Amino acid sequence: MGLKIPCPHCGPRVYTEFTFGGELHELESIDPEDDFRRVYLPDNAAGPQVERWFHAYGCRRWLTLRRDTVTNRIDGLV
């Protein structure tokens, strides 16, 4: 069984209904170079991270969740 994402509007759905929006990081500055690194150079670290997902084939809303990148376990919505 693949990764299931708990959509608060549609219920648990398979990850193929979603598009990955990337890791979510705090804005450190308004410097364009920092912003470029934040958006295009992900940390891709092993372990828990906060991510954005877009429910493209469902309610068409953005979700923010915490997922462990090693086990793919979703610890819940943020």
The residue with greater pLDDT, 25 or 4, is 4
Structure confidence at residue 34 (pLDDT): 83
Mean pLDDT of 67-74: 94
Report how far residue 41's alpha carbon sits from residue 23's, in angstroms, rounded to the nearest whole number.
Answer: 10
19-23 and 48-54 as β-strands: parallel, antiparallel, unpaired? Answer: antiparallel
Structure confidence at residue 16 (pLDDT): 96
- Under CATH, domain 4-77 is a member of which superfamily? Folate-binding superfamily (3.30.2270.10)
Q: What is the rounded radius of gyration, in angstroms, for the C-alpha atoms of the chain?
A: 13
* pLDDT at residue 1 greater than cutoff 70: no
pLDDT tens digit sequence for 17-55: 999 999 988 777 788 888 888 888 888 889 999 999 999
Residue percentage of the chain with pLDDT more than 70: 99
Where are the chain's structural domains? Answer: 4-77
